[in-house]
Amino acid sequence: MAESAYIHIPFCAHKCDFCDFAAFAGLDDLALEYCQVVAAEIKERNRSKPNAAPLRTLFYGGGTPGYIAPSTLKVVHDAVREEIGLIDGAEVTLETTPKSVTAEKAEQWLSMGINRISIGVESMQDHELQAMGREHKREECIAGINAARLGGYENIAFDLMYGLPEQTLESWQETLESLLALKPKHLSAYGLTIAQNSPLLLRYPKDSPSYPNEDTFVQMYETLVSTCAAYGLEQYEIANFAIPGYESRHNLTYWRNHPYLAFGVSAHRYVDGVRSSNFRSLKHYMRDYLGDETREEIDHLLRMKEGIMLGLRLRKGIDLEEFTRTYNVNIEERYAQQLHELSAGNFIELEGKFLRLSQKGVLVSNTVLTEFI
Ligand X SMILES: C[S@@+](CC[C@H](N)C(=O)[O-])C[C@H]1O[C@@H](n2cnc3c(N)ncnc32)[C@H](O)[C@@H]1O
Site residues (vs ligand SF4, CB under 6 A): 12, 15-16, 19, 21, 23, 62-64, 97, 120
**Residue ranges of the alpha helices (H) in 151-248?**
169-180, 200-203, 214-230
Asked if 238 interacts with ligand X (CB under 6 A), we say: no
Closest by CA to 236, choosing from 166, 317, 137, is 317
| Cα gap 189→74, rounded to integer Å | 29
CA count, 13 A, side-chain hemisphere, 164:
29
Query: Residue 17 touches which of ligand X, ligand SF4, none (CB < 5 to 8 A by kind)?
Result: none
Query: Residue 237 touches which of ligand SF4, ligand X, none (CB < 5 to 8 A by kind)?
Result: none
| Cα gap 260→56, rounded to integer Å | 10
Report, in Å, the least distance between residue 87 CB and ligand SF4: 29
In terms of CB distance, is 63 or 307 closer to ligand X? 63
Report, in Å, the least distance between residue 95 CB and ligand SF4: 8
Asked if 18 interacts with ligand X (CB under 6 A), we say: yes
Which region among 16-24, 25-33, 205-213, 257-265 touches ligand X (by CB under 6 A)? Answer: 16-24
225 — phi, psi (to 5°)?
Answer: -65, -45
Query: Residue 15 touches which of ligand SF4, ligand X, none (CB < 5 to 8 A by kind)?
Result: ligand SF4
Q: Which amino acid is at 101?
A: V
| Cα gap 171→128, rounded to integer Å | 9
Which residues from 92-131 bind ligand X, rule CB under 6 A? 95, 97, 120, 122
- Cis link prior to 264 (omega < 30° from 0)? no
- Tell me how crowded residue 107 is: count the other CB atoms within 10 A of its CB: 15
Report, in Å, the least distance between residue 21 CB and ligand X: 6
Residues that bind ligand X (CB under 6 A): 18-21, 61-62, 64, 95, 97, 120, 122, 159, 161, 190, 192-193
